[in-house]
Homo-oligomer: A and B are copies of this chain.
Amino acid sequence: MNDATIESVRDRLRDFAVARDWGQFHTPKNLAMALGGEVGELLAEMQWLTDDQVHAKLADPESRNGVEEEFADVFLYLVQLADICGVDLIQAGHAKITRNDGRFPPSSEES
């Protein structure tokens, strides 16, 4: 297995859930709430910091670990939710970039 792919992450998550019989909990709504919960934890990592302080936190190996773990939690629930919903994140992402290319000509304001 090439473990640099999103599919390798998805497959390990599937195995992980099967081994623990957690599939019963992994409904779309439950996973969406879990995703929302983890995004909240990622926001909390940065809430009182300036952007410069966020970068300093990321430059320190120890505090960086905590932030990376929050990124991982968000990513893992997003992958699981997409899997349950049959959504291919990379394909959907490319499609959306292509659509945005048409909607926002270069020099548009971010909105």
Query: Residues of A with Cβ closer than 8 Å to B?
Result: 3-6, 8-9, 12-13, 16, 19-22, 25, 27-30, 32-44, 46-51, 54-55, 58, 67-69, 71-76, 78-79, 81-82, 85-87, 89-90, 92-97, 99-101, 104, 106-108, 110-111
Contacts and interface: CB of A to CB of B under 8 A. Distances in A.
A31 to B, nearest CB: 8
A-B interface, 5 closest residue pairs, ranked by CB to CB distance from nearest: A40-B40, A72-B96, A37-B44, A33-B47, A72-B92
Nearest to A108: B20
A85 B110 contact: no
Contact of A75 (B39, B54, B92, B111): B92
Q: Could you say how many copies of this chain the assembly holds?
A: 4
